[in-house]
Amino acid sequence: MPTTQRRTRFDLMKALFVLMVGIAVFAAAVGVAVLLLGVDAVPQWMRTTALALGAAVVIAAVRGSIERWLDGRSIRLAQRYLEAGDLLRAGVQVQLLIESNEKLVGAYDPLTLRWTMTLAQIRMKQGLLLQSAALMEKVVDGQLSTLGAGHPDTQRTYRLLQRLVEPGGLDEPVEIWWRRR
């Protein structure tokens, strides 16, 4: 991932963390004020706002924990199915992971692209070559825009796609061949 993208995501995560801490501090301060000064000393809008913001933080934390647990469960199931050779069930689990990652971090996130490539390889083993090629094209496009043409993941995906689409292969660089398509 390019440094600027990594920095932007990190900055966003820091900002969200600071926001959540600020909300928690505000809610705690209002709660302490109510305990020390009484309900009548704290305006109704402040109590309502603190309650709503506190509830939103709790709901977000619980939802995030549940999503993380479900993703971990899907990863374990997908690995178990792949090891057992059950490509149909593995494909379903990997598809669920891809959809979850696309919602959370986007379609061109490196982890999402890796899972998409895993699904492409599953489809290839199932003999669904057109679906596999379409998924690999999506992965190469995403990798070229996020990782760059020189990244090992991009090169690996390109070589596999090249073997699938053009068995003879090409001798030109990835970005030239890909941009002409």
pLDDT of residue 67: 67
pLDDT of residue 8: 56
pLDDT of residue 10: 57
pLDDT of residue 146: 82
Domain 19-30+45-180: CATH superfamily, name plus number: Tetratricopeptide repeat domain (1.25.40.10)
pLDDT of residue 9: 55
Instruction: Give dist(CA 95, CA 32) in Å, integer.
Output: 47
pLDDT of residue 111: 80
Flag residues of the chain having pLDDT under 50.
Answer: 1, 3, 168-170, 174, 177, 181
pLDDT of residue 105: 76
pLDDT of residue 7: 53
Phi and psi based region of residue 106 (left: phi greater than 0; alpha: psi -120 to 50; beta: remaining)? left
37-48: b (≥16 Cβ within 10 Å) or e = eeeeebeeeebe
Structure-token match 């939802």, residue found: 63
pLDDT of residue 169: 47
Domain boundaries, the chain: 19-30+45-180
117-167 pLDDT, tens per residue?
889 888 888 888 888 888 988 888 888 888 888 888 888 888 888 777 765
Judge residue 104's burial from the number of C-beta atoms within 10 Å of its C-beta, 0-12 exposed, 13-18 middle, 19 or more buried. middle
pLDDT of residue 155: 84
Q: How far apart are the first and last CA of the chain?
A: 24
pLDDT of residue 85: 84
